[in-house]
């Protein structure tokens, strides 16, 4: 953000220079056109002309010389008056002329991205606001802008929180139902579900996270710059990237038993995992399409449709979970099939909304394969960096989960890790919503050529997320002995989960700072810097899990 302060000063300076050039200057009383005040030299001339006729010849000569000089002064005064009249008219023409139009070849976008061919036009108010806030003593405009930005961030964060709760609720419900499906096999079912989530996290979820990271930057900045047609092109590019990355994911899913055995897991448990992974595989393409459409809407701060569609999907998934798990022979594997069916319904409903709301006609440029291919290098650059951020953040938990399966009481330990992960994500929803909102607002500000607002949004998001994480830490500390019973009644699993919550509760603030910082990096298009920061913080998070 600091390297953007130089261009900001240049823009503000230019705005001030244009404003001063267009501002009429105050007229002097000696040159004001139409002024009734007599000039000093006019009084002198009148006095010299009233000399009595009884003067000597020398006095007459002196009077003649003064008269000639007065005539020259009168001509000079008239010339000066004409000069000021012309200058005043010129100033009036400049002040009332059309605003300067930026050249088409000069881009005004101050973001790391140079994808758009059209010139990014800043808002008509931005230059005036920049000039006002740059002047000393103008505290009121700054506080007003900061207050409005705080309200916008909180409103968007609340909407993101609702969306995150709606999106998290079905998976949470699936874990609860799996833990209470069978008292005799509760630990085995929970362990298989946990390993299936870890396997999908390493394969399909990583691919979708890379696409989402690229879309976070591109969609937010494109919308802020007013390039709405670019949103459809980014969607097409994301589809191409998914088509390239999905075959390896499918192959790994078919051989998940061998891969899990290679990672040190028991074959019986790996076979249970394989049934969950294969039943969830048909829903992966729908999940990818949903992620692309959600990022397009989130980049425009349109979260209400996502909340509505998510509520509908939650009702459908809860119904399917109960039917498949308790009313069919599928048993605990019915949860994976219910998730796949829900993802398909989610994609259909969300695509219908995009078409019926008019966003499709406004933002879809038609299928342009060549343009989508042209955008792939930039998409992959952001996506790979975002994937590195995701790997550094999440794969540490996956390694801990896989290592838990090698312990003597593998089923109980893996089940405890799964319960702890769900409770941890439940506490992280608060600052995760602020992270998403901060990413969108920062990207919109940079796309609109307003880095000062982006910098203020970043600081505000960090403060709010730290406060929310502190509340989550206190809740985990006070309720660590009660929360694990929501998933299972196994005393061993409850004891291990309770200890994990107790030991790691103070570290939620650091996790919140890391999450929001990564959201800011995504909004700025600096995923590579975020990946480096995540790598440095990964050791701390691994310590958080292993303790």
Q: What is the pLDDT of residues 265-280, one digit of tens each?
A: 888 888 888 988 999 9
The pLDDT score that the predictor gives to residue 448 is 79
Residue 180 or 229, more confident: 229
The pLDDT score that the predictor gives to residue 244 is 92
Helix segments in 135-228, DSSP class H: 139-179, 186-202, 204-225
The pLDDT score that the predictor gives to residue 517 is 82
**From CA 7, how far away is CA 110, in angstroms rounded?**
8
Residue 526 has pLDDT above 80, yes or no: no
CA-CA-CA-CA torsion sign (500, 504, 505, 510): negative
Residue 216 or 69, more confident: 216
**From CA 352, how far away is CA 354, in angstroms rounded?**
5
Residue 408 has pLDDT above 80, yes or no: no
Q: In the predicted model, what is the mean pLDDT of residues 192-196?
A: 84
Residue 457 or 100, more confident: 457
Q: Show the tokens assigned to 269.
A: 């448990």
**From CA 289, how far away is CA 310, in angstroms rounded?**
15
Residue 42 has pLDDT above 60, yes or no: no
Q: Report in angstroms the alpha-carbon separations of 487 from 106, 226, 418.
A: 59, 47, 9
The pLDDT score that the predictor gives to residue 542 is 54
Residue 367 has pLDDT above 60, yes or no: yes
Model pTM? 0.63
Residue 240 has pLDDT above 90, yes or no: yes
Residue 504 has pLDDT above 70, yes or no: yes
Q: Report in angstroms the alpha-carbon separations of 80 from 28, 68, 84, 244.
A: 12, 18, 6, 77
**What is residue 135's DSSP assignment?**
S
Residue 56 has pLDDT above 50, yes or no: no
The pLDDT score that the predictor gives to residue 183 is 57
- Confidence bin at 247 (pLDDT 50/70/90): very high
Residue 15 has pLDDT above 70, yes or no: no
Residue 440 has pLDDT above 70, yes or no: yes
Q: In the predicted model, what is the mean pLDDT of residues 480-494?
A: 80
**From CA 46, how far away is CA 436, in angstroms rounded?**
81
Residue where the block lists tokens 């196994």 = 490
Q: In the predicted model, what is the mean pLDDT of residues 250-279?
A: 88
Q: In the predicted model, what is the mean pLDDT of residues 109-121?
A: 41
Annotate 333-377 with three-state secondary structure.
Answer: HHHHHHHHHHHHHHHHHHHHHHHHCCHHHHHCCCCCHHHHHHHHH
Residue 297 or 534, more confident: 297
- What lies within 8 Å, CB to CB, of 360 at 6+ separation is 354
- Confidence bin at 543 (pLDDT 50/70/90): low
Lowest-pLDDT choice from 30-34, 337-341, 361-365, 436-440: 30-34
- Confidence bin at 190 (pLDDT 50/70/90): confident
The pLDDT score that the predictor gives to residue 94 is 38
Tens of pLDDT, residue by residue over 313-361, are 888 888 898 888 888 888 878 888 888 898 999 899 999 998 888 888 8
The pLDDT score that the predictor gives to residue 534 is 63
- Residue among 208, 152, 161, 172 at smallest CA distance from 304: 161
Question: Using only C-alpha atoms, what is the Rg of the chain?
Answer: 35
Q: In the predicted model, what is the mean pLDDT of residues 32-61?
A: 45
**From CA 180, how far away is CA 178, in angstroms rounded?**
5
Q: Tell me the range of 10-19, 123-132, 314-323 where mean pLDDT is highest.
A: 314-323
296 and 215 Cβ atoms separated by less than 8 Å? yes
Residue 50 or 466, more confident: 466
- Confidence bin at 68 (pLDDT 50/70/90): low
Mean pLDDT of the chain: 72
Q: Report in angstroms the alpha-carbon separations of 140 from 113, 135, 136, 147.
A: 33, 11, 11, 10
Residue 423 has pLDDT above 70, yes or no: yes
The pLDDT score that the predictor gives to residue 150 is 80
453 and 152 Cβ atoms separated by less than 8 Å? no
The pLDDT score that the predictor gives to residue 143 is 59
CA-CA-CA-CA torsion sign (340, 341, 342, 348): positive
Residue 86 or 292, more confident: 292
The pLDDT score that the predictor gives to residue 289 is 93
The pLDDT score that the predictor gives to residue 286 is 94
Residue 216 has pLDDT above 80, yes or no: yes
Residue 350 or 538, more confident: 350
123 and 448 Cβ atoms separated by less than 8 Å? yes
């Amino acid at each position: 953000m600091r390297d953007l302060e130089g261009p900001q000063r240049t823009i503000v300076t230019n705005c001030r220079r244009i404003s001063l050039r267009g501002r009429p200057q105050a007229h002097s009383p000696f040159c004001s056109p139409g002024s009734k005040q007599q000039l000093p030299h006019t009084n002198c001339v009148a006095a010299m002309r009233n000399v009595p006729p009884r003067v000597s010849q020398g006095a007459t000569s002196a009077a003649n010389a003064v008269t000639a000089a007065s005539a020259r002064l009168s001509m000079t005064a008239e010339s000066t008056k004409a000069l000021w009249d012309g200058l005043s008219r010129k100033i009036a023409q400049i002040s009332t002329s059309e605003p300067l139009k930026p050249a088409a070849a000069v881009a005004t976008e101050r973001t790391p991205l140079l994808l758009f061919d059209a010139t990014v036009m800043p808002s008509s108010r931005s230059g005036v606001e920049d000039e006002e806030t740059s002047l000393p003593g103008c505290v009121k405009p700054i506080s007003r802008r900061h207050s409005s930005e705080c309200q916008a961030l909180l409103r968007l964060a609340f909407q993101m929180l609702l969306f995150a709760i709606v999106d998290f609720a079905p998976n949470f419900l699936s874990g609860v139902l799996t833990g209470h499906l069978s008292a005799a096999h509760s630990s085995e079912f929970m362990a298989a579900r946990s390993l299936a989530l870890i396997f999908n996290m390493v394969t399909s979820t990583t691919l979708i996270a890379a696409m989402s990271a690229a879309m976070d930057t591109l969609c937010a900045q494109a919308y802020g710059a007013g390039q709405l047609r670019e949103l459809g092109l980014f969607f097409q590019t994301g589809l191409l990237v998914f088509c390239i990355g999905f075959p390896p994911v499918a192959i790994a899913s078919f051989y998940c038993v061998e891969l899990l055995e290679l990672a040190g897991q028991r074959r019986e448990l790996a076979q249970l995992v394989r049934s969950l992974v294969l039943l969830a595989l048909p829903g992966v393409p729908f999940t990818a399409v949903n992620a692309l459409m959600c990022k397009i809407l989130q980049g425009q701060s349109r979260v209400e449709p996502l909340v509505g569609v998510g509520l509908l999907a939650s009702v459908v998934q809860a119904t399917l979970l109960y039917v498949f798990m308790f009313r069919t022979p599928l048993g605990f594997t019915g949860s994976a099939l219910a998730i796949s069916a829900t993802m398909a319904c989610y994609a259909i409903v969300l695509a219908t909304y995009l078409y019926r709301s008019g966003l499709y006609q406004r933002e879809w440029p038609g299928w342009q394969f060549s343009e989508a291919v042209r955008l792939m290098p930039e998409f992959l650059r952001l996506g790979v960096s975002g994937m590195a951020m995701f790997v550094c953040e999440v794969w540490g938990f996956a390694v801990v989960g896989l290592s838990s399966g090698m312990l003597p009481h593998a089923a109980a330990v893996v089940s405890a890790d799964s319960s702890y992960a769900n409770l941890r994500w439940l506490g992280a929803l608060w600052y995760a919503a602020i992270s998403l909102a901060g990413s969108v607002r920062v990207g919109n500000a940079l796309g609109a050529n307003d880095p000062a607002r982006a910098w203020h949004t970043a600081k505000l998001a960090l403060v709010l997320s730290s406060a929310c994480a502190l509340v989550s830490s206190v809740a985990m500390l006070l309720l660590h002995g009660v929360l694990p019973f929501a998933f299972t009644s196994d005393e061993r699993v409850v004891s291990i989960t309770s200890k994990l919550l107790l030991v790691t509760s103070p570290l939620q603030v650091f996790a919140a700072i890391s999450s929001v910082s990564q959201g800011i990096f995504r909004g700025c298009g600096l995923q590579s810097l975020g990946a480096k920061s995540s790598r440095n913080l990964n050791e701390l998070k691994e310590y958080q899990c292993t303790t």
